Amino acid sequence: MTDLAPQQHLRDRLSAHLEVLYPKLEKAALLDDIIALMALDQRCFMPEAHKNLWDESDTLVITYGDSILRDGEWPLHTLHDFLRRELRGLISGVHILPFYPYSSDDGFSVINYVEVNPSLGDWKDISAIARDFDLMADLVINHCSSRSLWFENFKQRRDPGMDYFVEVDPAVDLSEVVRPRTSPLLNEVQTLDGKRHVWCTFSHDQVDLNFQNPKVLLEFVKIIRYYLDMGVKIFRLDAVAFLWKIPGTTSLNLEQTHEAVRLVRTLIEHAVPDAIIITETNIPLRENLAYFGNANEAHLVYNFSLPPLLINTMVSGSCKALKTWMMGMPAAQDGTTYFNFIASHDGIGLRPAEGLLDDADINQLVALMQKSGGKVSWRALANGENRPYEINISLYDAMRRHLHASNENDGEDGFQEQRFICAHALMLAVQGVPAFYIHSLLATENDENRVLHTSHNRSINRHQWAADDLESQLETNSHHARIFNVLKALIALRSAQAAFHPNAAQYPLHLGDKVFGIRRESHSSGAAIVAIYNISAEPQEILLADLNLDESAQWLDITSDNRSVRGQASLVLAPYAYRWLRRDDGLDAG
């Protein structure tokens, strides 16, 4: 029999959410419908506030279901085999990017939310992966495909779907709406009732859903319950910042959007207490951090400022901007933390660098990435101008050139591999849960042929490996194998250090612009690590006195066979070398 306390707690919280979202609606029946669709009338848990659902052993891989292909085998089988063979015991979770039937945008124009794309496999394959790894899946909540049944019904003026989309008179002033694209916001479509204009934030094939209609909310409640039953543990709320639309406003990060995230959080944590919500909000830093709420919205937020700042650090040889940003980053409350990454299936977002890098730095970075084969995607401003929105490039090629290398070498200085590894070693050490895009883990180059084939810039970093070719590369001394093996060793090393818990304290060090340093310290055990990085193309000497190491303890270089640094006056780091120094005071590492 269900305990009354969690049930009443659930009803009280849901009532508060619904009052914000639908103040004029009679909510009793809607509340009952939501609880029934989530099966919370059958089993309901009391969530524990400020509980960390992760530790230092957690690392994720981000991949498409068909990033690795083998003739005669379902791609999800191939992916699962690769994960088990190469990464079991190293990674805790896998984010499989949209694996549903879709019409465009490599999965993010969803045709059917509760089917698996038959070209990948089926739900049994998804659930099999979920049994071996924490499964992260996309809840593409802002929009669906123009070829979905819902939108076909919208055009035919029948349910379900007739009133599921945002319609706006084109005469209405929408100039305040913040756009991530340059395409027209409204798309004219022919319906049985004549022409209608629907809101399309991203593309005309991705039609925005109308959450002011509670029937849309109920559809997604059913979808969430189904994903939980199929083994999904981590829900990535895609493009959620654009969810609620009000003409005359930016229609970005509105209070109703935050309330909708809180509602989803309430449902998920009462259904499965260790399930996690992560918000995908590629927006400036302060707005992004707001999705933590008061530890009652996202468990994790994407650390979107990290990729452009870290890449700029590595190619400029100055960590000034990165250090300044990190000094201002608030420590995440227990029960929340950052989701750290350097590269993803999208590009290097530039909006999160606004206010952190000046326009000259951004323009210089964009020009260097273009020189290395990168593409630029643009967004439209209210004044009619276009501004760089993201850089599309593989991370390995992003590290090909250095801004201050001699012009004779066109910026190439022979340190591409070292820069690439150093960037990941830095990412692994900062506060939060680390995630590796599969093509970063494998150091995949730009796929220019795929761009030509799809005519989409983002395809440059969405390569599909033939499994036999990949296995051959990993068995040789290729840069793919060298980097893959180094990164696996770093992941294993990190997972044994309590000081690298995602919520362990973090203190930036002041070692000049060419050496980046942080100190991490566990709240529970007191375990401490000082991580230092030469982010320049010249050797750098670091005085140990400048690191303020506790003299009463011995400090071991765990990136170099646990050698003690006691008695040394300084450390000399080769270009792009790094050291993790762990305090050895009798405490266990983990």
Residue 304 to residue 310: CA distance in whole angstroms: 11
| C-alpha dihedral sign at 142, 296, 220, 32 | negative
**Residue recorded with tokens 């070692």:** 511
Do 41 and 47 form a contact (C-beta atoms < 8 A)? no
Give strand pairing partners of 93.
60, 134
Do 456 and 447 form a contact (C-beta atoms < 8 A)? no
Under 8 Å CB-to-CB from 559, ≥6 apart: which residues? 425, 493, 578, 579, 580
Residue 177 to residue 185: CA distance in whole angstroms: 9
What is the residue-wise DSSP string for 452-518? HHH--GGGGG---EEHHHHHHHHTTT-HHHHHHHHHHHHHHHHTT-GGG-TTSEEEE----SSEEEE
Q: Please indicate whether residue 205 is annotated as part of the active site.
A: no
| Strand 528-534 to 515-521 pairing | antiparallel
Phi, psi of 543 (to 5 degrees): -75, 130
Residue 495 to residue 56: CA distance in whole angstroms: 5
Under 8 Å CB-to-CB from 516, ≥6 apart: which residues? 313, 319, 322, 323, 426, 532, 533, 535
Residue 392 to residue 345: CA distance in whole angstroms: 9
Give strand pairing partners of 102.
110
CB-count burial class (<10 Å; 0-12, 13-18, 19+) for 587: middle
Check 58, 105, 134, 238 and give the catalytic one. Answer: 238
Q: How far is CA 173 from CA 160, 168, 186, 195, in A?
A: 29, 10, 12, 19
Residue 341 to residue 317: CA distance in whole angstroms: 20
Do 412 and 39 form a contact (C-beta atoms < 8 A)? no
Q: How far is CA 62 from CA 92, 233, 236, 298, in A?
A: 12, 15, 12, 19
Catalytic center residues? 238
